[in-house]
Amino acid sequence: MKLHKEGFKIIPVAFLVLAAIDIVIYLLLKNFLIFYFLMAVSLVLALLVVYFFRVPNRKANVNENYILAPADGKIVVIEPVFEKEYFKDERIQISIFMSPLNVHQNLAPVGGEIVYVNHIPGHFHCAFVAKSSEENERCSTVFRMKNNTEILSRQIAGAVARRIVTYKKQGNIIEQGQEYGFIRFGSRVDVFVPKNVKINLKLNQKSIGGKTILASFS
């Protein structure tokens, strides 16, 4: 287990803010019982901020016949849709809702070349609602496998998550299970796969990034 590099930007700021609030609480409420309660709350918040940026030590379930989950979370959508941003045809959409307590690292569902990266500004609806896929701020990344099969993974901001980070650019080569992005503090990732794949999970199932098999080609 280690801390994600995004955490080194946020954790010090969060700790300074909490420390400033703690000083004010101490000066105003140190003689009252509520002081101890508020100090406990402050400690819990500090621990949660650190917990948000954890990166577990995992070995990806690498297999060219698998499409892996790009994120930890809960499967909230499995349905055929018309994907109109890139493919402009029918695909199967698999959506993973990431709560604030999930790991926020995003991993490549397949290996290959990144042929498309597009960040689109938008709203910040709750990530578990359907319209978030098309109306929220989002970034779509398309991975082209060696056999030219393309998989689109779309990072979507939510009501709490206000920052999407995508580290890879068009033309980069990436390995399956390698990190390609990060979302603060939880949100949603939509994966668009070909219609002829075998779906390997069900609604409400928990996913583990780089480990859970969303679909397979055989």
- Full-model pTM: 0.86
The DSSP bridge pattern shows strands 66-68 and 73-83 to be unpaired
Residue 65: the pLDDT is 96
Q: How far apart are CA 47 and CA 122, in angstroms?
A: 31
Please report the beta strands in the chain, taking only residues with DSSP state E, as ranges in sequence order. Answer: 2-3, 54-55, 66-68, 73-83, 89-97, 105-107, 112-120, 138-144, 150-156, 163-166, 173-174, 179-184, 188-193, 198-199, 206-207, 213-216
CB-CB neighbours of 147 under 10 Å: 8
The segments of the chain whose pLDDT lies below 50 read none
Contact 153, 141 (CB under 8 A): yes
Helix, strand, or coil (residue 14): helix
In the DSSP assignment, the letter for residue 132 is: H
Q: Yes or no: say if 98 and 189 are a contact pair by the CB < 8 Å rule.
A: yes
Closest residue by Cα to residue 214 from 195, 196, 197, 201: 201
In this structure, are residues 140 and 154 in contact, taking their beta carbons and an 8 Å threshold?
yes
Please count the other Cβ atoms lying within 10 Å of the Cβ belonging to residue 97.
Answer: 23
- Whether 187 is a known active-site residue: answer yes
Report pLDDT for 134: 63
Residue 131 phi, psi dihedral angles, 5° rounding: -70, -15
Closest CA to 182 of 2, 7, 39, 11: 7
Q: Which of 95, 132, 153, 187 is catalytic?
A: 187
pLDDT digits (tens, 9 = 90+) for 94-124: 999 988 888 889 999 999 999 999 998 866 5
